């Protein structure tokens, strides 16, 4: 009996080890000419019923190449990377998959799960933003098809009510903080319960701007002093009541969509993805119908403010990469053609048509986007949408995920007033040095 | 020893009965656990081959301040959660182990939190704990406490808040086990104790507690393991924060493994957690055996 049990254990171990080890790196099969017969490639996506972009891309490509079918494989939005990792390791992942954020790009690239697509990337024009995020040692491993950037949403009706002038593109963060307080006082005087601004609980709402806008700031350096002025401003806004405090946001699970959409806050720093959501929620009644606009994100100092300059902000591209386990050469050619299409102007127009901010923001694409019903048509909104220097939220490195966790600890400690900013920075630097950067 | 055909047949029949369950257990639990012991000695990010690194992961753990914080927090949670839940569930069981009107209702009410979705109840508790607008702090202010704690948003109070919710949720389940235990104590023992002049406290101490020994042992073991591997409650209520004030071992493992893709290191921490659970259980087992002698 005992021996049989041991044997069973041995077999189970062997099987698992084989399964774990079988996902070794492979070279792409040699590319063949574009097939003329029917061919199917698979594409990963998430929440297909509420995220139309994948179907838009698949349908658009089918219209150009009627013999190709792009089959969508649905994943869970919240667990996309975990599920994709498991599928890639098991060899069951689709031919083309989406890189939902830059943070996990390194894991895939370093793990040999992305084919070299430098030939596709080199043919894309300079209106495509976010390409550099996917380059390692001069080679491209994915191409971006959408590129959201962080901007400042504002509620014109609440501004009018508080008798505060609209943003004009000239704001630094100090101006923003001052206006948030003025708005709060003005709104209170007008009998409204709304506050000046809403900052969501994510670490990126503070750290993303700090890293992108501060000269010389670097996550990898392990020196985090650059976040200090940004946190001081936020804790001051919390204390003055100009924005809901972190504890209220987390314990009551406030959503930014409701805070801005239901007019509880006059301003909201958020990514451009929210434009499509807001327009949709206005039509379904999940958001009030009010006048709104977008302005460039407030800046570090006046050197980048004003509509004659290029405002600095952050945002991660969403890209497409090719699974190196793709089965034959014909499919390789089709998959590369699909990537070129997705990053190109035709797909960008189709994506802009459904309210998405594509990576390619040529004038023609911008025209399509602002022709949409419900998109604010003022000049500043157009400027904020199409002109910005968008830095990646995080550098592509094997330390990024670890450093993000360290800084998330700092974020919750400082905003909950559990730690002073100086102590928190010292603690984060020690933690980064001893636990992440030495790995 | 020669096996007779009959014996072999009986063994085969026995095996075939446990096979469906065992196959699932072997494939989904046992094999991964065994592989874990290998992965813990490697550096592995899920793709490709794991690189053998010997004891590097364990040396790293020794110098890892976050690991020690997580371990301390886990011990903090365990050391308060076990006695609180034990006394609350035993108290409830004693209270509801009598024939009073509507006892079934009260038993169900006490059991309810246990069968409620964890996501839903942490959502509600978080709102109750909300520092500025939550009912708990409104009540505290009403009775004259000017600066009530920030609960899940304060580094000092987040752990007590989480322990409280954990105790509230689990006491109903252990109450049920104690109720079952109480039914097995013969009524004659209480009668005899009464005849001997024992007061209620003495009857509890010398009849009830010894009679519940086996149940208590089981409850303590299960509760200890449960407390050491507390995860969903923490993740949903505080995500380990503010700062690292409620970071526990299983969440640290999750963070290192599934967020940072360091499966080798995460496995090494899992082994430490496994070893702690094993040691504590063995210790409890020996203590229990000594009592039995």
Contact check, Cβ <8 Å, B47/A248: no
How far is CA B199 from each of CA B190, B193, B203, rounded to the nearest angstrom? 10, 8, 6
A16 touches chain B (CB under 8 A): yes
B98 shares contact with chain A (CB less than 8 Å): no
Instruction: Please say whether the beta carbons of B107 and B189 come within 8 A.
Output: no
> What is the residue-averaged pLDDT of chain A?
87
Q: Where in chain A is the domain with CATH 3.40.190.10?
A: 27-149+315-361, 150-312+394-436
Please count the other Cβ atoms lying within 10 Å of the Cβ belonging to residue A100: 18
Nearest-CA residue of chain A relative to B26?
A12
Long-range Cβ contacts of A169-172 (<8 Å, 24+ apart): A169/A295, A169/A296, A169/A305, A169/A306, A169/A307, A169/A311, A169/A380, A169/A383, A169/A384, A170/A302, A170/A305, A170/A306, A171/A295, A171/A296, A171/A298, A171/A299, A171/A305, A172/A298, A172/A299, A172/A300, A172/A301, A172/A302, A172/A305
In chain A, residues with a C-beta closer than 8 Å to the C-beta of B30 are: 9, 12
Cα A22 off chain centre by: 32
Nearest Cβ partner for B35 among A16, A416, A431: A16
pLDDT at residue number B76: 95
> Is A265 an interface residue toward B (CB < 8 Å)?
no
pLDDT tens for residues A110-123?
A: 888 999 999 898 88
Pairing state between β A317-322 and A143-147: antiparallel
Nearest to A251 among B130, B243, B258 (CB): B130
**Range of weakest confidence among A7-21, A147-161, B126-140:** A7-21
Among residues 54-73 of chain B, which lie with CB inside 8 Å of chain A? 60, 63-66
For residue B33, the chain A residue with the least C-alpha distance is: A13
Give the DSSP letter string of A57-83. Answer: HHHHHHHH-TTEEEEEEEE-STTHHHH
Percent of chain B with pLDDT over 70: 99
Q: What is the pLDDT of residues B15-27, one digit of tens each?
A: 999 999 999 999 9
Check if A235 contacts B (Cβ < 8 Å): no
Region of poorest pLDDT, from A10-14, B61-65, B187-191: A10-14
pLDDT at B293: 67
What's the average model confidence in pLDDT over B73-80? 94
Query: Which of A430, A423, A392 shows the shortest CA–CA distance to A231?
Result: A423
B10 at A interface, C-beta within 8 A: no
Is the confidence at residue A12, as pLDDT, over 80?
no
CA distances (Å), A196 to each of A192, A248, A255, B8, in order?
11, 16, 16, 80
Q: Which domains does chain B have, with CATH numbers?
A: 36-292 (1.10.3720.10)
For B260, the closest of A24, A402, A418 (CB atoms) is: A402
B151 touching chain A per CB within 8 A: yes
Residue A389: both structure tokens together: 């220097």
Q: Which residues of chain A make contact with B243, given a CB cutoff of 8 A? A: 409-410, 412-413, 416, 418-419, 424
Phi, psi angles (nearest 5°) of residue B66 = -65, -35
Best to test chain A binding among B48, B69, B157 (most A CBs inside 10 Å): B48
pLDDT of residue B167: 94
Spatial distance between the Cα atoms of A144 and A153, rounded to a whole number of angstroms: 24
pLDDT of residue B271: 94
Mean pLDDT of A404-428: 93
Per-residue pLDDT at A2: 44
Instruction: Flag whether residue A323 sits within 8 Å of chain B, measured between CB atoms.
Output: no
Range with the poorest average pLDDT among A21-30, A187-196, A303-312, B173-182: A21-30
* Mean pLDDT, range A135-141, rounded to an integer: 89
Give CA separation, A220 vs A151, B60, B173, in Å: 25, 20, 48
pLDDT tops 70 at residue A180: yes
Q: Are A355 and A78 in contact (CB under 8 A)?
A: no
**Residue A418: C-alpha distances to residues A412, A432, B156 (Å):** 8, 20, 8
Task: Name every residue whose Cβ is closer than 8 Å to that of residue A257 and which is 6 or more positions away in sequence.
Answer: A274, A277, A278, A281, A286, A287
Return d(Cα A398, Cα B261) in angstroms, integer: 10
Q: What is the mean pLDDT of residues A387-412?
A: 88
Model confidence at B215: pLDDT above 60: yes
What does the DSSP assignment read for A248-280?
Answer: HHHHTT--HHHHHHTTSEEEEEEETHHHHHHHH
| Cβ–Cβ gap B155/A413 under 8 Å | yes
A12 and B27 in contact by Cβ < 8 A?
yes
Mutation for A interface: B14, B239, B259, B266, most A CBs within 10 A? B259
Q: Which of chain A's residues have a Cβ under 8 Å away from the Cβ of B47?
A: 23, 85, 88-89, 107-108, 110-113
- The average pLDDT across B197-208 equals 90
Q: Tell me, what's the pLDDT at B145?
A: 84
Interchain pair B127, A82: CB under 8 A: no
Position A108 pLDDT exceeds 50: yes
Separation in Å, CA of B259 to nearest CA in chain A: 7
Q: Among B47, B150, B154, whose Cβ lies nearest the Cβ of A23?
A: B47
Q: Look up the ipTM and state it.
A: 0.81
The rounded distance, in Å, linking the Cα atoms of A45 and A75 is 6
Distance CA A186, CA A181 (A): 8
What are A66-85's pLDDT values in tens digits?
Answer: 999 999 999 988 889 889 98
Does residue B244 have a pLDDT over 80? Answer: yes
pTM over 0.90: no
Residue pointed to by tokens 């050619």? A333
Closest alpha carbon within chain B to A12: B31
Picking from B33, B25, B23, B19, the residue whose alpha carbon sits closest to that of residue B275 is B33
CATH for A150-312+394-436, options being 3.40.50.11260, 3.40.190.10, 3.40.50.300, 1.10.287.3510: 3.40.190.10
Rounded Cα gap, residues B267 and B251, in angstroms: 13
Residue-wise pLDDT tens digits, A285-334: 888 999 999 999 999 988 888 888 889 999 988 999 999 988 788 888 99
The model's pLDDT over A330-371, given as tens digits with 9 standing for 90+, comes to 888 999 999 999 998 899 999 998 888 998 888 888 889 988
Percent pLDDT > 70 in chain A is 93
Contact B151 A251 (CB under 8 A): yes
CA A81 to chain CA centroid, nearest Å: 14
The pLDDT, as a whole number, for residue A41 is 92
Give the model's confidence band at B37: pLDDT under 50 very low, under 70 low, under 90 confident, else very high.
very high
Whether A255 and chain B come into contact, CB under 8 Å, resolves to: no
% of chain A surpassing 90 pLDDT = 50
User: Who wins on pLDDT, A254 or A15?
Assistant: A254
Statement: A27-149+315-361 belongs to CATH 3.40.50.170? no
A25 vs B121, residue with greater confidence: B121
Query: Cα(B223)–Cα(B221) distance, rounded to whole angstroms?
Result: 5
User: Averaged over B104-119, what is the pLDDT?
Assistant: 89
Question: Is B145 in CB contact (< 8 Å) with chain A?
Answer: no
Cβ pair A250:B47 closer than 8 A: no
Local confidence band at B160 (pLDDT 50, 70, 90 cut-offs): very high
C-beta atoms of B65 and A435 within 8 A: yes
B:231-250 residues touching chain A, CB 8 A cutoff:
239-245
């Amino acid at each position: 009996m005992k021996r049989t049990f041991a044997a069973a254990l041995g077999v189970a171990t062997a099987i698992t080890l084989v399964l774990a080890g079988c996902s070794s790196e492979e070279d792409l099969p040699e590319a063949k000419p574009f097939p003329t017969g029917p061919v199917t490639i698979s594409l990963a996506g998430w929440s297909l019923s509420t995220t139309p972009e994948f179907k838009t891309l698949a349908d658009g490509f089918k219209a150009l190449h009627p013999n190709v079918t792009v089959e969508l494989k649905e994943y869970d939005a919240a667990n996309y990377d975990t599920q994709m990792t498991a599928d890639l390791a098991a060899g069951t992942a689709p031919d083309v998959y989406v890189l939902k954020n830059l943070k996990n790009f390194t894991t895939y690239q370093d793990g040999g799960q992305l084919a070299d697509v430098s030939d596709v990337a080199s043919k894309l024009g300079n209106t495509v933003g976010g390409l550099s995020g996917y380059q390692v040692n001069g080679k491209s491993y994915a191409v971006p098809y959408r590129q959201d950037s962080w901007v400042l949403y504002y509620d014109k009706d609440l501004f009018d009510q508080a008798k505060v002038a609209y943003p004009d593109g000239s704001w630094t963060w100090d101006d923003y903080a001052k206006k948030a307080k003025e708005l709060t006082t003005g709104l209170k005087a007008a009998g409204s319960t709304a506050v000046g601004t809403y900052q969501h609980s994510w670490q990126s709402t503070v750290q993303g701007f700090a890293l992108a806008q501060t000269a010389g700031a670097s996550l990898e350096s392990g020196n985090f002093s650059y976040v200090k002025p940004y946190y001081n401003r936020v804790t001051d806004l919390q204390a003055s009541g100009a924005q809901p405090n972190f504890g209220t946001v987390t314990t009551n699970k406030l959503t930014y969509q409701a805070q801005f959409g239901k007019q509880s806050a006059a301003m909201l720093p958020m990514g451009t993805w929210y434009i499509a959501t807001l327009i949709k929620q206005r039509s379904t009644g999940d958001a009030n119908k009010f006048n709104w606009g977008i302005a460039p994100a407030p800046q570090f100092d006046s050197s980048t403010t004003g509509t004659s300059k290029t405002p600095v902000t952050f945002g991660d591209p969403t890209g497409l990469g090719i699974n190196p386990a793709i089965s034959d050469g014909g499919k390789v050619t089709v998959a590369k053609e699909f990537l070129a299409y997705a990053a190109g102007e035709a797909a960008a127009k189709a994506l802009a048509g459904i309210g998405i901010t594509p990576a390619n923001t040529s004038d023609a694409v911008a025209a399509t986007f602002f022709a949409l019903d419900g998109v604010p048509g003022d000049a500043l909104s157009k400027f904020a949408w199409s002109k910005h220097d968008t830095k990646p939220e995080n550098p592509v490195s094997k330390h990024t995920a670890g450093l993000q966790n360290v800084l998330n600890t700092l974020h919750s400690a400082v905003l909950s007033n559990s730690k002073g900013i100086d102590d928190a920075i010292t603690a984060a630097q020690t933690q980064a040095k001893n636990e992440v950067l030495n790995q | 020893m020669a096996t007779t055909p009959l014996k072999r047949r009986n063994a085969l029949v026995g095996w075939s009965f446990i096979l469906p369950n065992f196959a699932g257990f072997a494939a989904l639990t046992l094999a991964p656990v065994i592989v874990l012991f290998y992965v813990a000695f490697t550096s592995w990010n899920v793709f490709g081959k794991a690189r053998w690194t010997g004891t590097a992961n364990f040396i790293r753990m020794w110098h890892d301040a976050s690991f020690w914080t997580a371990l301390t927090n886990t011990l903090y949670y365990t050391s308060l959660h076990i006695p609180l839940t034990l006394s609350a569930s035993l108290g409830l069981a004693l209270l509801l182990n009598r024939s009073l009107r509507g006892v079934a209702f009260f038993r169900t009410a006490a059991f309810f939190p246990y069968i409620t979705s964890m996501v839903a109840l942490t959502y509600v508790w978080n709102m109750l704990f909300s520092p500025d607008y939550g009912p708990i702090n409104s009540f505290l202010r009403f009775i004259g406490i000017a600066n009530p704690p920030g609960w899940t948003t304060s580094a000092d109070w987040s752990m007590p808040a989480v322990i409280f919710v954990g105790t509230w949720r689990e006491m109903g389940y252990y109450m049920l086990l104690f109720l079952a235990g109480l039914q097995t104590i013969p009524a004659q023992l209480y009668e005899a104790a009464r005849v001997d002049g024992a007061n209620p406290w003495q009857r509890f101490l010398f009849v009830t507690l010894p009679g519940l020994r086996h149940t208590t042992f089981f409850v303590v073991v299960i509760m200890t393991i449960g407390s050491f591997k507390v995860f969903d409650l923490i993740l949903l209520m505080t995500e380990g924060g503010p700062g690292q004030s409620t970071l526990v071992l299983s969440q640290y493992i999750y963070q290192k493994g599934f967020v940072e893709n360091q499966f080798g290191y995460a496995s090494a921490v899992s082994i430490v957690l496994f070893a702690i659970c094993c040691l504590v259980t063995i210790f409890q087992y020996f203590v229990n055996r000594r009592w039995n002698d």
